[in-house]
Structure 1
């Protein structure tokens, strides 16, 4: 089963500009500490690395505020970087490696860069890989404060949706919807192309008629010219006699 083995955090929220590492073992892991010590920031860092883009989910007003002491006087670049190392020995994440490292960096201007095993990639690829492994944010893999109470108040339809998310059905439903939309778009483009082809064929037929008329006109002109020349020659021969 896919699980996080290690989290490396740099410049994220209460974690300063030195690398902090949190190791996880399979099974239940508990992180304890006094209020304000940054326990919840570890979960925020994890969901940040998984591609979360909603500031309120990570308890800030804007993504740029996730960078530690963003308004301070630190010399050098200010950035937030979080790396998640996953145990992928069962290959649930479709990457041929026993460990998969996903990294997200955000600079002081709010620009984001993603890496998969130290190779730059894009957010969509990261999200697709996590969806396949049932490790995405949409499948209750990250349960924040207040979420348990909200789940207990779910309607039957909402519970059904959550269950479908957990077993991965929603991923394939979304892919099916995307494929159907792409197919419909392709059908519309094909209809437009066929309509243009009909217009082009009609124009070709018109040009063919014009071409034939022109060739006929030129042929008649040549024949008339030949007849006129022959008549002129014969007339000149008659005058000579």
Structure 2
């Protein structure tokens, strides 16, 4: 994914529609005389990418991004950036089948601010997620290296440069998430170990004891049932014997 073209209308020094085509996929340099608007082209790209620190684009509020702050009859600033996304492996999520995507941001003097993706209105959060899905985060402190920071970057040590590149590429956030996930996993594992210990020392012995008590109860219950049956047999036998004795006694009296 790379920029193909930038179109500015009413943005900073660009009062009328100005198209800047012919961007190269890998490296570009904007040259020109002082005051010709070179920096404003970079500012316009950052504007579309959703920059929140307006000091980076030399403004204190959004209205200052409108040509002459709306005092010359131009009351809105519009910037469109056309991205080449013909490589589906580097396309934003949901746009894999599109050869290009146009993201537009417009502000109106008075505070209105809107985003448009391929001609359709979009929430700022959707645009933010679109760029984040391809590791573009203009609000990352290392995304832009302005003139005053070049010497500082050149003097960085290798670990500092690596850290800066990780943040600029958007991989640092995954490292942070990975560390958080590992800590959570460690806590979960500690809980699992605690449960295993509880199982071994308390629950399993208690279950074994209950099994033995159940077995003893079943033996007692079976023995008690057998005793009840034997008692009934004895009562029945005694009853039959008593009936026989009674019948014999009655017969003897008749004789």
Whether the aligned pair in 2 keeps the contact of 1:113 and 1:120 (CA below 8 Å) is: yes
* Correspondence 1:117 to 2:114: no
Question: In structure 2, what is the Cα distance between the partners aligned to 1:132 and 1:149?
Answer: 31
For 2:130, the equivalent position in structure 1 comes to 129
Secondary structure of the corresponding residue to residue 103 of structure 2: strand
Aligned to 1:165: 167
Q: What is the DSSP-based 3-state SS (H/G/I as helix, E as strand, rest coil) of the residue aligned with 1:70? A: helix
Give the aligned CA root-mean-square deviation in angstroms.
2.7
2:84–2:100 Cα contact (<8 Å) kept: yes
Matches within 5 A, 1:34-73: 34-73=33-72
1:78 aligned residue (65, 75, 80):
75
Q: TM-score, normalised by structure 1?
A: 0.64
Q: Deviations over 1:171-218 (max 9, x none)?
A: 435777999xxxxxxxxxxxxxxxxxxxxxxxxxxxxxxxxxxxxxxx
Give the gaps of 5 or more residues in structure 2: 182-255
Q: Matched residue pairs, number?
A: 176
Contact between 1:81 and 1:104, CA under 8 Å: does it hold in 2?
yes
Q: Which residue of 2 aligns with 1:33?
A: 32
- Name the structure 1 match of 2:104: 103
| 1:100-137 Cα deviation digits (max 9, x unpaired) | 11111111013210111111111221121212212331
Q: Mind listing any 5+ residue stretches in structure 1 that lack a counterpart?
A: 180-241
CA distance in 2, matches of 1:178, 1:68: 46
Deviation at 1:157, TM superposition (A): 6.1
Distance 1:168 1:108, change over 3 A: same
Structure 2 residue matching 1:28: 3-state secondary structure: coil
Q: With structure 2 as the length reference, what TM-score do the two structures score?
A: 0.61
